[in-house]
């Protein structure tokens, strides 16, 4: 499926989506946190899209927003798409977990929680993955400061 | 005669055991929290972070040339391919057109890296199932590749041979001859691998039907590389998203449908044959030309997002760069193959014995710095 | 050479010359015991060296070659190092059992050595139930391993010990039954008489087909009995770290290590005695020189030891349930059938005798 066809199809499911192809090789969709889980399960289950392979899940600190970027690929149609979700709440950012859709998300979401402090609803085992449980702060946020362990130029 | 199943009066209790961080089968500092009932595994919970260095955070303060050097330290067994991943991302972002010579040399070196990595894996795989001799056979052949790398790149493990825009130096004059010698040598030695381990009845008993991963689960868990292909999931980045010179060579994607430990084993052996065939197709006609194109001393990527995936010896390595137009990436994420492959360990190990866990873990071919980053 | 090779009697006769008979016999036994201890402690060390050399040959390496010519003193140096090392242990270990365990293992393996006929009359203890004694003694060692695993208070050690228990108990059966098959031919459990019978042909020839089957079963079970690869479930370094001796160090560890090698020697020596005519030379070529029997005995034994080392350096390890399947579903039934076949052969006098 071409990006244009994908955009038309997905646009018919949920209304408040933003599409963009600028500055990226993929089609980017920005979705609100409320519609994230619904969009994701549609993308996976719909026969025409069938994005069954979540190949990358990254947390990003866009300052001031925090967000997650999902890179999806379909192993049958071989098309790719990028889904982005953002929230301005830095104190208690929460998204829905997608690990019931793609099992690989379980570890990736734990990683994002570890480094960005983004919580995921319905995650079976949301705790720190790399850092110790006592670690304070979320190191990959842009406002994280650690005078001992970080070399800042 | 009717037999009734009498429930055992023995009270069986589950207990925890710490496998690692210092354990011979975890190949590094991976710690697995096992819940065991007798010998049967009920749950495997990996505990990571023992060598986490936060490479992604370090990348945010480094220039693009410097980032290449950090990637060596992730999956140190396919360091050349890791370097290539970052270089390709930067080159694509800058829209540099690379000379053919660079592409071909990169491909040859990548495949040599793959053979070297699989040699080591094969040795360690044998060791994990108890055949200690394989280790030395694997290392004997890997050593020859390391010598080739040493002559050309100056390093044996952390190559640092790729730079954004090409290669750091041109290849050594001996490179072609030595690579050909190695291929000739390895063609006689690879069948030895089969006679020593593959055909062994104990080995087949240990691996067939153990750690079965279905194709659907492989995709869902994001398995890639030989782990995915062992389950019949066609996931070779070299086939589906060709980079460097992979579009000008013919090779077969090693695919097995069984999804068990033995299938993953066979895929890797098959990949070594394919890698040799790729090298043979390229080694005789390395195009003449420059070994790099000039880039600015300070590389600034245009604002935007860039994603590049390559096939390392372990699977799909993705580099995701968000640039805001400065000399450092705003955010750089490595999608490492080992991390996704580790996440399915619990799925394939539950219900098996401790020995099965070790055997399946060996065919996942985990490199811990790749997982921890 | 007129010196009698029957060392026990020689020493006792010499002692009786200047002391009362009772004291002399006790003292004589102690002296013999000390001689055996000294010889086999050193022999065990050289078996370790042999294993390392064999491993090196299999693995494209050179092996130890620095300490002494051809590395001959390497294991001596290792032993000295182990003697001088600190004995560590876990705080919550059951101290008494923890300290006792290594001695169980080493003593049981050294005791078995007493009955072997190294050459004509060179046998410390010619007991009339020799085979029975060997089987009985070899199962004492497992108590030491179980104790070590239990008392170390370490889960890996415990799993290793439990595996050892289940393994040894199972494979004892095969060892016993395969030896029993051969006893049908000899009609005696006494080792010297078993050797006498073999003057008409080694038992593996006398008993032809069932004897070869018994030998194969014996070697498989014997390898399992010594906890060596491919049956080294007990240690299984890629699964359990070091298994039952995880928490041992220094000389206590060395006892376990040495016992493994002496056990290997014992298994090979039993096979030599029962299947390959002990000290008898092929076709009786050196029968006139009795002391050459030692050469033949050790030669045959070392061949079998080499066979076991060959197993170790080429085979992967079995899984614990496969190990039990092999014993209970294959070896044991084959063994039981085999014993009947042997009985029929002996009954119908179908044995081959020269």
Residue of B nearest to A114 (CA): B49
Q: Are B127 and B27 in contact (CB under 8 A)?
A: no
Residues 6+ apart with CB under 8 A from B278: B107, B108, B111, B246, B249, B251
Q: Which pLDDT value is given to residue B184?
A: 92
Q: pLDDT, tens digit, for every residue of A79-91?
A: 888 888 888 888 8
DSSP C26-51: HHHHHHHHHHHHHHHHHHHHHHHHHH
Q: Which pLDDT value is given to residue A55?
A: 86
Angle among Cα C56, C270, C109 to the nearest 5 degrees reads 75
Q: Are B58 and B40 in contact (CB under 8 A)?
A: no
Give the range of the structural domain holding residue B236, as residue numbers without chain letter. 52-372
Give the range of the structural domain holding residue A51, as residue numbers without chain letter. 3-121
Domain assignment present for residue B2? The answer is: no
Angle among Cα C108, C111, C113 to the nearest 5 degrees reads 120
Euclidean distance between CA atoms A152 and B347, whole angstroms: 41
ipTM value > 0.90: no
Overall size of chain C counted in residues: 354
Give B219→chain A minimum CA distance, Å. 6
User: Are residues B197 and C316, on separate chains, in Cβ contact within 8 Å?
Assistant: yes
Distances (CA, A) of A56 to A33, A71, B222, B307, B317: 18, 5, 9, 10, 10
Q: Where are the domains of chain C?
A: 94-347
Touch between chain C and chain A: 3 or more Cβ pairs under 8 Å: no
Q: Does B322 touch chain A (CB under 8 A)?
A: yes
Least confident piece of the model among A127-131, B369-373, C241-245, C339-343: C241-245
Tell me the HSE value of B202 on the side-chain side, using a 13 A CA sphere.
23
Q: Which pLDDT value is given to residue C5?
A: 57
Q: pLDDT, tens digit, for every residue of C309-324?
A: 888 888 888 888 888 8
Six-digit token string for B228: 């995915």
User: Are residues A24 and B304, on separate chains, in Cβ contact within 8 Å?
Assistant: yes
Strand A119-121 with B15-19, pairing: unpaired
Q: Does residue C299 register a pLDDT over 80?
A: yes
Q: pLDDT, tens digit, for every residue of B233-255?
A: 888 888 888 888 888 888 888 88
The per-residue pLDDT of chain C, averaged, comes to: 83
Euclidean distance between CA atoms A108 and B339, whole angstroms: 8
Residue of A nearest to B307 (CA): A25
Euclidean distance between CA atoms B86 and B69, whole angstroms: 10
Q: At which residue do the structure tokens 């065990």 appear? A: C44
In this complex, the residue of C61, C159, C315 whose CB is nearest that of residue B136 is C61
Euclidean distance between CA atoms C139 and B363, whole angstroms: 38
Q: pLDDT, tens digit, for every residue of C137-146?
A: 888 888 888 8
Q: What is the mean pLDDT of residues B102-131?
A: 89
Domain assignment present for residue A129? The answer is: no
Residue of A nearest to B52 (CA): A130
Overall size of chain A counted in residues: 153
Tabulate helix, strand, coil % of chain A (nearest 5): 20, 25, 55
- Of the candidates B32, B11, B18, the residue with the CA atom closest to the CA atom of residue B364: B32
- Of the candidates C140, C318, C266, A51, the residue with the CA atom closest to the CA atom of residue B354: C318
Domain assignment present for residue B293? The answer is: yes
The pLDDT > 90 percentage for chain C reads 5
Question: Where are any strands of DSSP class E within chain A?
Answer: 18-20, 28-31, 53-61, 66-73, 80-87, 94-96, 119-121
Q: Does A100 touch chain B (CB under 8 A)?
A: no
In this complex, the residue of B54, B222, B339 whose CB is nearest that of residue A54 is B222
Q: pLDDT, tens digit, for every residue of A25-44?
A: 888 888 888 888 888 888 88
Q: Which pLDDT value is given to residue A153?
A: 56
Q: pLDDT, tens digit, for every residue of C63-103?
A: 888 888 888 888 888 888 888 888 887 788 788 888 888 88
How many CB atoms sit inside 10 A of residue C237's CB? 17
Domain assignment present for residue A139? The answer is: no
Q: Does A135 touch chain B (CB under 8 A)?
A: no
Domains in chain B, number: 1
Give B102→chain A minimum CA distance, Å. 24
The per-residue pLDDT of chain B, averaged, comes to: 86
Between B7 and C182, residue with greater pLDDT: C182
Q: Which pLDDT value is given to residue B2?
A: 46
Q: What is the mean pLDDT of residues C9-26?
A: 77
Residue of C nearest to B127 (CA): C238
Least confident piece of the model among B63-67, B85-89, C49-53, C287-291: C287-291
Question: Phi/psi at B74 (nearest 5 deg)?
Answer: -85, -90
- Of the candidates C65, C82, C63, C84, the residue with the CA atom closest to the CA atom of residue C73: C65
User: Are residues B219 and A75, on separate chains, in Cβ contact within 8 Å?
Assistant: yes
Q: Does residue B354 register a pLDDT over 70?
A: yes
User: Are residues B305 and A24, on separate chains, in Cβ contact within 8 Å?
Assistant: yes
User: Are residues B206 and C316, on separate chains, in Cβ contact within 8 Å?
Assistant: yes
In this complex, the residue of C60, C229, C241 whose CB is nearest that of residue B136 is C60
Tell me the pLDDT band of C4, cut-offs 50, 70 and 90: low
Give C238→chain B minimum CA distance, Å. 5
Residue of B nearest to C57 (CA): B133
- CATH number of the domain where residue B88 is located: 1.10.645.10
Does residue C314 have a cis peptide bond before it, meaning omega lies within 30 degrees of 0? no
User: Are residues A130 and B56, on separate chains, in Cβ contact within 8 Å?
Assistant: no
**Which residue of C319, C321, C324 to mutate against B (max B Cβ within 10 Å)?**
C319
Q: Are B116 and B139 in contact (CB under 8 A)?
A: no
Q: Are B93 and B306 in contact (CB under 8 A)?
A: yes
- CATH number of the domain where residue A73 is located: 3.30.460.80
Q: What is the mean pLDDT of residues C29-38?
A: 84
Domain assignment present for residue B5? The answer is: no
Q: Does residue B153 register a pLDDT over 60?
A: yes
- Of the candidates B202, C127, B237, the residue with the CA atom closest to the CA atom of residue A56: B237
Cβ–Cβ pairs < 8 A, chains B and C: 79
Tell me the pLDDT band of C182, cut-offs 50, 70 and 90: confident
Between A4 and B245, residue with greater pLDDT: B245
Domain assignment present for residue A126? The answer is: no
Residues 6+ apart with CB under 8 A from C303: none
Domain assignment present for residue B44? The answer is: no
Q: Which pLDDT value is given to residue C6?
A: 67
Q: What is the mean pLDDT of residues C206-232?
A: 86
Q: pLDDT, tens digit, for every residue of B287-337?
A: 888 888 888 888 888 888 888 889 898 888 989 999 888 888 888 889 888
Q: Which pLDDT value is given to residue C333?
A: 92
The helix (H) or strand (E) run that includes residue B139 is: helix B133-153
Domains in chain A, number: 1
Our measurement of the distance from residue B314's CA atom to the centroid of its chain's CA atoms, rounded to an integer in Å, reads 2
In this complex, the residue of C241, C315, C319 whose CB is nearest that of residue B356 is C319
Overall size of chain B counted in residues: 373
Q: Which pLDDT value is given to residue A87?
A: 86
């Amino acid at each position: 499926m071409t990006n244009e066809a994908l955009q038309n199809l997905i646009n018919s499911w949920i209304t408040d989506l933003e599409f963009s192809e600028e500055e990226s090789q993929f089609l980017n969709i920005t979705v609100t946190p409320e519609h994230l889980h619904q969009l994701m399960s549609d993308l996976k289950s719909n026969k025409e899209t069938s994005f069954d392979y979540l190949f990358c899940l990254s947390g990003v600190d866009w300052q001031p927003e925090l967000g997650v970027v999902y890179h999806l690929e379909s192993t049958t149609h071989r098309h790719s798409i990028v889904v982005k979700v953002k929230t301005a709440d830095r104190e208690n950012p929460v998204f829905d977990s997608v690990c019931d859709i793609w099992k690989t998300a379980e570890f990736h979401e734990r990683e994002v929680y570890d480094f960005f402090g983004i919580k995921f609803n319905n995650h079976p085992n949301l705790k720190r993955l790399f850092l110790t449980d006592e670690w304070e702060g979320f190191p990959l946020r842009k406002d994280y400061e650690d005078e001992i362990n970080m070399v800042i130029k | 005669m009717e037999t009734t199943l009498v429930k055992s009066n023995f009270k069986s209790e589950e207990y925890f055991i710490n496998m690692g961080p210092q354990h011979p089968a975890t190949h590094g500092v991976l710690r697995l929290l096992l819940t065991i009932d007798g010998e049967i595994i009920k749950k495997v919970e990996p505990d990571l972070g023992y060598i986490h260095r936060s490479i992604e955070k370090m990348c945010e303060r480094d220039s693009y040339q410097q980032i290449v050097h950090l990637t060596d330290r992730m999956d140190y067994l396919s360091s050349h391919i890791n370097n290539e991943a970052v270089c390709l991302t930067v080159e694509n972002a800058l829209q540099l057109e690379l000379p053919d010579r660079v592409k071909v040399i990169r491909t040859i070196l990548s495949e040599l890296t793959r053979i070297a990595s699989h040699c080591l894996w094969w040795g360690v795989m044998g060791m994990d199932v108890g055949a200690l001799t394989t280790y030395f056979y694997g290392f004997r052949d890997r050593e020859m590749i390391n010598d080739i790398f040493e002559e050309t790149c100056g390093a044996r493990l952390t190559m640092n041979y790729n730079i954004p825009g090409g290669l750091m130096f041109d290849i050594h004059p001996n490179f072609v001859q030595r690579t050909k010698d190695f291929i000739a040598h390895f063609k006689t030695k690879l069948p030895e691998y089969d006679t020593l381990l593959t055909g062994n009845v104990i080995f087949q008993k240990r691996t067939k039907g153990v750690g079965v991963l279905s194709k659907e689960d492989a995709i869902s868990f994001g398995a890639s590389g030989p782990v995915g292909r062992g389950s019949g999931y066609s996931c070779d980045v070299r086939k589906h998203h060709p980079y460097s010179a992979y579009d000008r060579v013919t090779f077969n994607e090693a695919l097995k449908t069984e999804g068990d430990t033995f299938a993953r084993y066979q895929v890797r052996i098959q990949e070594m044959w394919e890698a040799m065939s790729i090298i043979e197709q390229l080694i005789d006609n390395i195009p003449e030309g420059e070994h790099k194109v000039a880039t600015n001393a300070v590389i600034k990527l245009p604002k935007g997002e860039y994603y590049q995936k390559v096939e390392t010896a372990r699977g799909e390595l993705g580099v995701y760069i968000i640039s805001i137009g400065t000399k450092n990436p705003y955010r750089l994420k490595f999608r490492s193959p080992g991390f996704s492959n580790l996440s399915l360990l619990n799925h394939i190990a539950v219900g098996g014995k401790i020995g099965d866990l070790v055997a399946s873990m060996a065919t996942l071919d985990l490199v811990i710095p790749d997982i921890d980053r | 050479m007129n010196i009698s090779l029957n060392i026990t009697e020689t020493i006792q006769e010499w002692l009786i010359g200047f002391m009362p008979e009772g004291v002399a016999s006790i003292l004589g036994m102690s002296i013999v015991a000390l001689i055996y201890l000294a010889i086999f402690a050193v022999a065990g060390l050289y078996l370790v060296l042999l294993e390392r050399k064999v491993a090196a040959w299999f693995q494209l390496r050179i092996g130890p070659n620095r300490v002494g010519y051809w590395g001959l003193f390497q294991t001596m140096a290792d032993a000295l190092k182990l003697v001088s090392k600190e004995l560590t242990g876990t705080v919550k270990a059951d101290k008494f059992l923890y300290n006792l365990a290594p001695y169980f293992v080493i003593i049981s393996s050294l005791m078995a050595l007493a009955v072997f006929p190294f050459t004509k009359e060179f046998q410390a203890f010619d007991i009339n139930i020799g085979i029975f004694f060997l089987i009985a003694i070899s199962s004492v060692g497992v108590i030491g391993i179980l104790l070590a695993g239990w008392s170390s208070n370490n889960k890996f050690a415990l799993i290793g010990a439990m595996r050892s228990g289940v393994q040894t108990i199972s494979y004892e059966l095969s060892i016993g039954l395969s030896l029993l098959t051969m006893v049908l031919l000899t009609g005696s459990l006494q080792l010297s008489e078993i050797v006498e019978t073999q003057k008409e042909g080694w038992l593996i020839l006398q008993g032809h087909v069932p004897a070869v089957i018994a030998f194969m079963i014996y070697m498989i079970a014997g390898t399992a009995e010594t906890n060596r690869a491919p049956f080294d479930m007990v240690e299984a370094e890629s699964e359990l770290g070091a298994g039952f001796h995880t928490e041992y160090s220094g000389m206590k560890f060395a006892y376990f290590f040495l016992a493994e090698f002496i056990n290997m020697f014992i298994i090979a020596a039993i096979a030599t005695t029962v299947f390959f005519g002990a000290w008898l030379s092929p076709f009786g070529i050196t029968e006139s020189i009795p002391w050459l029997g030692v050469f033949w005995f050790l030669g045959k034994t070392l061949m079998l030891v080499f066979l076991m080392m060959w197993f170790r350096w080429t085979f992967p390890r079995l899984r614990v349930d496969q190990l039990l399947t092999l014993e209970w579903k294959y070896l044991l039934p084959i063994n039981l059938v085999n014993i009947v076949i042997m009985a029929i052969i002996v009954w119908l006098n179908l044995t081959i005798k020269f």
